[in-house]
Amino acid sequence: MEDTSQPWIFFLMSLLSCSPPTQARLIVSKNQAQLFEGDLLSLSCEDTMSTGWTLRRNTTEETRTQCGADWGLLKGSSCTISYVTPWETGVYWCEGVGGASSSSINLTVTGGPVVLQSPVLPVMEGHDVTLSCQSKTPPSSLTADFYRDDVIIGSQPTGHMTLQRVSRSDEGLYRCEIRGHGKSPSSWLSVTGGIPSTSRPTTRAPPTSVASPPSSFSLQVKLLLLLVVFCPYFISTLLMVSLYRRRAAGGDLSISKVMSPHRNTEQGLDADYDVITEHHF
């Protein structure tokens, strides 16, 4: 008897092979886009579904270097830089097997006197965001001016400014300045979730001085297109092979049944012919 279970096993295996890849999330010990030189920084790749993620970065001096091999101290899934320098300024992301990658973040390390404490991770639309202008040397609570895209948006004597219920229109390059003390670098504030607001025009994309990592979205789109094209073709091929084998087996049986009566008929005709011949003689 023909084993018809094998095609279905291949069918189930093909479905499993078409499942989407897992995605890691980059975790930062300090959710701030700017750091003073000498600060401690810890990053990790979090993924409960799989392992094998590598933490990489692009800087002005390095391209796609790996934590533990080229920089930082790797312990478990955590990578630590005990003393950051301006050379650590760049793009950081998690990269998995097959080129899958997490969302990237931009970290800025300054040797200057002032930093803007703003979220380095994307902020959910509708949440409040507090920006803090901090000086490296006391006093830190000085009147600070806050800018978005080089346009002043307010001055606060406490050095703190809260953006209420942020939307996509609040995205942009933010910096601050403490009067008579110094300026901070600029960092991009990213807002995610919801529908883009039309109350104000959306600001331009953040400029970057280092190469960005491979786009996770573009990789996922390419992988999805490949799966959409390949998986149905693979599955249909298995089904066609299975049907062909069944029909081939059934066809041999039918031919044998058809040929048997034909042979019997020929034998019967021969017998009749002999009887008739003998009758004439």
Taking only the tens of pLDDT, the chain with its 281 residues reads: 545 445 444 444 444 444 445 567 899 999 999 999 999 999 998 875 666 788 999 998 889 999 999 999 998 889 999 999 999 999 999 988 777 888 899 999 999 999 999 999 999 999 999 999 999 987 666 899 999 999 999 999 999 999 999 999 999 999 999 988 899 999 999 999 855 444 443 434 454 455 555 555 555 556 555 555 555 656 666 677 677 676 766 655 444 444 444 444 444 444 444 434 444 44
pLDDT score of 253 = 47
Provide the CB-side half-sphere exposure for 182 (13 A, CA): 17
Q: pTM to 2 decimals?
A: 0.64
Tokens of 63: 């391209």
β-strand partners of 152 = 147
Q: Cis ω on the peptide bond leading into residue 139 (within 30° of 0)?
A: yes
| Domain ranges (residues) in the chain | 15-110+210-236, 112-205
Pick the CATH number of 15-110+210-236 from 1.20.1600.10, 2.20.25.240, 2.60.40.10, 2.170.190.11: 2.60.40.10
Q: Do domains 15-110+210-236 and 112-205 have the same CATH topology?
A: yes
Topology given in CATH for the domain delimited by 112-205: Immunoglobulin-like (2.60.40)
d(CA 86, CA 264): 97
d(CA 23, CA 226): 18
